[in-house]
Amino acid sequence: MPRKRLGRVRTKNTNRREALKLSSMTSEDYNVRPDEMKSIACPDCRTWRRIMGDKVLKIREHCISDKMAEGEKRVACPGSDQLVVIDIDVRRWQSEQNRLLRDAMPPENRRAAQQFYKPLPAPAAPVSRIKGKVTLETARQSYLAHRKGCARCVGGQHCTDGGILARRYVLALGQEPARREARAEQDRQARRAERRQSAPAVRKAQWARYGGKVVEAANNRCAERVPGMVCEFGGPQVPLAPQNVEAHDRRQAELGKQYAAWKAPVTVG
C-alpha cells in the first residue's frame, strides 16, 4: 500500500488575513480526521479545498471558477493560502460527527446486511437422561410415569428408557438404608449442637432458680456425724484386727505348712 504523503506548501505567501480558527466555523465545514486528508470549505467561494502543510496549515491555492477548460478566465480566489489553526479537540469533534452521521442515516441502511435469526430451542431431554438429585420417591414416580405412558414396557419387558429408569429405581432402593442412617446421624448431630448451644442458658436458669440463699444455706448446713464415721466425706472406719483371733491363727498355720511343702526339694531315690 503506497504511503500517504502530506501536501507540501510550495510558497510562503499568504493572503495576509488573520489566521482562520476552526472554532469559529461550524463543525460541518471542515474535516480533520486523523486517518483522512484534511479539507475545508473555503469561506469565500464555499467550495471544498485541501488543507496543505504539516505544521503551517494553509488552504490550497485555487480559482473561483472550475470552468477554465471551457474558456473562462482564471481568477484566483481570495481565500487561497489562508492560514488555518486547529484549535479544537479533534477526538470530541470526531465522536460528535460520528453521532450525527448515525442519526442522519436512514433506518433501512442501519440494519446489517446479514440477518441473524434466533435459533430454535433444542428439544427437551427425556426423563431417563435428566441428571438431578435422585431419591427413592422421584425414581419411583419417574419409573411409574414412564411405565404408564410407554406401550413397549409390558410385564417384565422394558424399552431402553424404561430399563434405565428401572435400574435407577433399584439402585435407589439399595441406597435407601444408608441414606436413612445418614439422615438420622445428621439429626442427632443437629440435636447435640442445639443442646450445646442451649446448655449455658439452662445452667443460667437453674442458677437463677436454685442459686443465691438456697445454695449458701445448703453449704453452711451442719449435719450430725454418724458414729463410726471418720469424716463426713468418707465411710465407716475399717477394722484393723480380725473378729475371731483363734480361727485366724489356725488358718495362718495351715497356710504356712502348705507353703513349706511347696518349697521343699524333691529327692529321687
How confident is the model over 113-134, as pLDDT tens digits? 566 777 888 887 776 666 667 7
Q: Specify whether the backbone of 155 is left (phi greater than 0), alpha (psi in -120 to 50) or beta.
A: left
Q: Phi, psi at residue 50, to the nearest 5°?
A: -80, 145
Question: What confidence score (pLDDT) does residue 85 get?
Answer: 92
Answer whether residue 43 shows pLDDT above 80: yes
Count other Cβ atoms within 10 Å, centred on residue 48: 13
Strand 20-21 versus strand 39-41 pairing type: unpaired
Answer whether residue 91 shows pLDDT above 70: yes
Q: What is the residue extent of each domain of the chain?
A: 20-106, 127-209
Question: What confidence score (pLDDT) does residue 228 get?
Answer: 58
Question: What confidence score (pLDDT) does residue 222 get?
Answer: 62
Q: Across-strand partners of 53?
A: none
* 3-state SS assignment for residue 30: strand
Cα dist. 84→79, 91, 93, 238, 251 in Å?
A: 11, 18, 17, 126, 140
Answer whether residue 230 shows pLDDT above 60: no
Tell me which residue of 87, 99, 113, 82 sits closest to 19, measured CA to CA: 82
Calculate the average pLDDT of the chain: 80
* Under 8 Å between Cβ of 160 and 124: no
Q: Across-strand partners of 51?
A: 59
Answer whether residue 100 shows pLDDT above 80: yes
Q: Which alpha helices (DSSP H) does 87-159 contain, by range? A: 90-104, 107-110, 136-149
Q: Which residue has the higher pLDDT, 251 or 105?
A: 251
**Lowest-pLDDT range of 23-27, 89-93, 103-107, 150-154:** 103-107
Cα dist. 207→180, 201, 204 in Å?
A: 40, 10, 5
Instruction: Return the residue matching grid coordinates 471551457.
Output: 70
Q: Stretch 170-187: mean pLDDT, rounded?
A: 87
Question: What confidence score (pLDDT) does residue 109 get?
Answer: 64
Tell me which residue of 132, 211, 200, 212 sits closest to 172, measured CA to CA: 132
Each residue's pLDDT tens digit, 233-259: 555 667 778 888 899 999 999 998 888
What is the band of 1 on the pLDDT scale with cuts at 50, 70, 90? very low
What is the band of 269 on the pLDDT scale with cuts at 50, 70, 90? very low
